[in-house]
Structure formats: C-alpha cells, structure tokens
Amino acid sequence: MSKPAHAPRALAEPRNYGRGVPSRHLRLAPTAPDDVADALASLRAEVGLPAMYPADARAEAERAARGDLKDFRQDRRDVEFVTIDPPGSKDLDQAVHVATSGHGYVVRYAIADVAAFVSPGGALDTEVHRRGVTFYGPDTRSPLHPVVLSEGAASLLPGEDRPAILWTIALDTYGEISSAVVTRAVVRSRARLTYGEAQTALDSGTAPEPLVHLADVGRLRQARERDRGGVSLPVPEQEIVRRADGSFGLELRRTLPVEEWNAQISLLTGIAAAGMMREGGVGVLRTLPPAGAGDVARLHRCADALGIDWPDDVPYADLLPRIESRRASHAAFLAEATTLFRGADYVAFGVRGPGGGPRTTPPDDARHAAVGAPYAHVTAPLRRLVDRYGLEVCLALSAGRDVPEWVLEALPGLPATMRSAAGRASAFERACVDIVEAALLAHRVGRAFDAVVVEAGEPRDDGLRRGEVLLREPAVRARVEGAELPLGERVRVTLAEASVPERRVRFTLP
C-alpha cells in the first residue's frame, strides 16, 4: 500500500503527525490473506466503494490525456521544482520550489491542473462528483480520477511537461505572507523525492538550496502557527502495509521533520487561498470549530490523571511542544486531545440565493481551529474534488476576472458532497485497520499482551468500563473492558476476541 490508511498525505487534515515513534513491521499469518481479502471485498460493497470507471468516463479521460496544452500559460519550466511524497507515489499533486528574495522568501507551489482535463458536466466530471475523494485500502484503491490522469497526464511526474496552477507566495523574514499570486503555467519537475531522501539530504548537508530554504520556511511557519494558536498533534499513526508476498501488516509510523515542513507549504497555500476568497467574496472554506470549554476542562483532568503538568494559564497550543509521543502517558494524552477537534466541514459562499437573491457571505467564525486561521483546500485536486473548484476561484480572483459560471453553479452543493465522501472514506479506512488488526490477532485469542490504556470511559451498569488500549507489539489499538482502566498506564491485557468477518478485536483487563 503506497499510502497510510489514516493519513493519506494531503487528504486528511494536515494536523496529525506521528513523531518520534519507532516503526513496527508486522505480518499476517500465512493463512490470513484469504480471510482478509474476503472481508475487504465485503467492506467495499458495504461502503459502496466505487469500482471501475464507466466506459464513457474512461474514454473521456483517455482523450483528455492525449490532448495538448492549447490554452495560454506561463512557461515556468525554468523553475527547478521537486515533489516530496511517500515512496512509490505516482499521483503527484504538488511540486515545490523555495528561494530567498532579499526581504524573505518566495515560495512557488505548482498544483496539478485537473480542470485542464475534466470538462464540466461531462461523463468524467459526473463520476468524479460521485466519488468525491480517492479511497485508499490495503489491497487496492479507488482513485478520484482514472489512473491515466491521476498517475499519468495530470500528475506532476519528473521530467515531464505538465499543466499546473502555480502559486507564487512572497514571505517576509518572519514567514508572514506579503503577497500571493496564482496563474496557469506549464512546469517540469526535476525530481520525485521521498521524505526519507529529502531528510537524508538535509541531514547530510548535501541538499540543494531550494530544499534548505523549504526547511527554513517550514520552521518559520511552524512558529507562526503557534502564534496563531494553531496546533499539530503528534499522534502515533497506524498504517496498513502490504508486503511483496501479498501479506498485510500494521506499523506505527515515524514522521520525519521534512514531512512537517513540507506540510506547512500546503497549509500556507490554503491560508493564502482562504484570504483571497474572503477578500473576493466567493469561495469554499474548510472549517473546524474551536473546542468547547467542557472539552478543554475534560482534557485538563486527563492531564492531571496522566501526571502531565498543565497550568491553567498555559494555552493548549503552548503545551504541545512539551509533549513527547514516545512516552506512554504523553501518547495517551495526545490520543485524548484529538477529541478537541471534531466537526470539520466546508462552507461555500458568494453564490446567489434561491430566486436570484443576494449573494451569500461567509460566517464570521468560518475558521479552522487547528490551523488557527481561515483555510481552504486547494492543494490536492487529484485526490479531492473540492480543490479543483477552490483553485478556479483563486485563479479568477487573482486575475481580476469573474469566477466561471460552472464553478458558481457547483459551489452550493460542494459541502454536502465532500461531507458525504469524507465520511465514507473515514469509515472505510478505519474498518480496513480493524480487519487487519483482527487478522493479525485471530490465532492469539486467550494470550496476554503488554499495552497502554489510551481511553477510559465511565463505569456501566455492570460495573465495567470500556476504553481503548494501544499494544506495544503488534501495533494495534483496540477496545478493552475492565473494572479499572488506569489511563496512561502500562497494563497486561488478555485478548478475548478477534474476528475478521466482524471486524472486531476486544481485550479484557483483569
């Protein structure tokens, strides 16, 4: 599997990074893959996962892939862009180049120009709207766009001339945005780097200047994020991996610093896009409400129970740099902290109301609490539908043109479309992990495991509590039941159930 089940690059909110957690490479028992394959097939049917593209949509994509660049574009093949992605990735949405300006930095961010290949209202467009996002599974994936585009003509592959939407963002010496311009261009990526390759080059001192500047900007933007009250949760991430022999396993992934710096470029662009949209009075924003006072108070109590010093006058964002995910109690705290950020959504504005009424305006509180600013999704159009529309809005506003009518017509329905697609993708990805967890443990029912309690509920009528534990080996997070669930402490739990067909794993704590 080329991407993690819980954090497929830019698809998930770019806030939850796993730092400092050693990877655990796992395998299924030799007899398990057939059970897993059957369970995954049932899951795909249950979720209604899109299968093959309809013939007319495939034909449209193939014709588009054979076309040439007829529209006017800036020729920016002189810029030495690179892509930085997980190993094996071919659906490359973004290519980056960072330079100094004498007054700060210039970030050039090339985004795949999907609109150059998808005709509004056509068979391909209709199918893309039905899917909404790319669905990632351990055995296969259902791409938002046919692979002839997503891994071919539209992907920013190295050494190939590609249509792109080019953001040019000027930053001052503190990393604050001075200006942002977006236009259509033709670009040519010089290299497809993995995170590991990029980090090794930076650590060894052999990285080219643009990569060094990317790290500098990444650090500056992390500091500005803290100033805004934005947060990054270094929660250990489970990933499903597929081996060369067809077996599956789970890993807890260690995220490299360059991955976070690279993510800051995406966040920077989304913030610039949101500002452009709000100023222009039209667009679609990604929103996340702030945590409620009750949730913050509950997290304070959790910190006390885990022995984490959190003074009342210290903001949550200032606490996070002190948290180390490799420590069991801190990992439990971070797992609980994710509950502060629920309710992510989209809001579209600037379109006519029913009957030609006044144009809608964004709510005053249309911000993303984890980003700490208004924010828009515009950097992953190959894998997320809404980005194509956000990019078209920004192109028009940057050039002083009217937003295309096909974009305005689609904006009101985009939040519901994306809400549904994201919900299905999240449920699918979680269920995939459940299946692999059950398969890994199916032959070990009755055995004891070392674990850490990461969630603990209130006692039920039968006197038992229900919570979750994170095993030390294998990298499984699963339900646990017991009379006492000491949050953040190491415990010895017994595996009571592991059912692949039911997608269920359950432990007990004596």
Please give the residue that has the higher pLDDT: either 221 or 232: 221
pLDDT recorded at residue 328: 64
Highest mean pLDDT among 47-51, 195-199, 437-441: 195-199
- pLDDT tens by residue, 386-419: 999 999 999 999 999 999 999 999 999 999 999 9
pLDDT of 30 strictly over 60: no
SS3 263: helix
Rounded to whole angstroms, what are the CA distances from 353 to 311, 346, 348, 350? 48, 18, 12, 9
- pLDDT value at residue 74: 94
Does pTM surpass 0.95?
no
Domain map of the chain by residue range?
32-289+343-438, 295-338, 445-509
Chain segment 41-71, per-residue pLDDT in tens: 899 888 888 888 999 999 999 999 998 876 7
| Nearest by Cα to 44 from 417, 418, 435, 382 | 435
Has domain 445-509 been given CATH number 2.40.50.140?
yes
What mean pLDDT is predicted for residues 222-233?
86
429, pLDDT greater than 90:
no
Choice among 97-111, 300-314, 420-434 with the minimum mean pLDDT: 300-314
Report the pLDDT averaged over residues 175-188: 97
DSSP assignment of 336-364 equals HHGGGS---EEEEESSEEGGGEEEP---T
69-115 confidence digits (pLDDT tens): 767 789 999 999 999 998 888 999 999 999 999 899 999 999 999 99
Q: Tell me which of 25 and 185 has the higher pLDDT.
A: 185
Identify the band that residue 291 occupies on the pLDDT scale cut at 50, 70 and 90.
confident
Take residue 149 and report the two structure tokens written for it.
Answer: 């585009």
Pick from 339-343, 371-375, 405-409, 442-446: least confident = 339-343
What is the model's pLDDT at position 229?
85
Which tops the pLDDT comparison, 361 or 503? 503
CA–CA dist 453, 488 (Å, integer): 5
Q: Which one is predicted more confidently, 487 or 66?
A: 66
* Other C-beta atoms lying within 10 Å of the C-beta of residue 59: 14
Place 234 in a pLDDT band, splitting at 50, 70 and 90: low
| Contact between 439 and 36 (Cβ < 8 Å) | yes
- For 221, 349, 382, the CA distances from 277, given in Å and listed in that order, are 21, 9, 21
Which has the higher per-residue pLDDT, 144 or 15?
A: 144
Note the Cα 366 to chain centre separation in Å: 20
E strands, 11-146, in order: 74-75, 81-85, 94-100, 105-112, 135-136, 141-142
Q: How far is CA 221 from CA 39, 169, 266, 274, 487, in A?
A: 43, 13, 11, 16, 34
The more confident residue out of 43 and 356 is: 43
φ, ψ of residue 394 to 5 degrees: the values are: -65, -35
* CA–CA gap between residue 172 and residue 180 (Å, rounded): 12
Amino acid 459: pLDDT: 87
Calpha distance 156→164 (Å, rounded)? 8
- Percentage of the residues of the chain whose pLDDT score is greater than 90: 54
Confidence of residue 329 (pLDDT cuts 50, 70, 90): confident
* pLDDT score of 250: 64
- Name which of 16-25, 139-148, 160-169, 311-320 the model is least confident about: 16-25
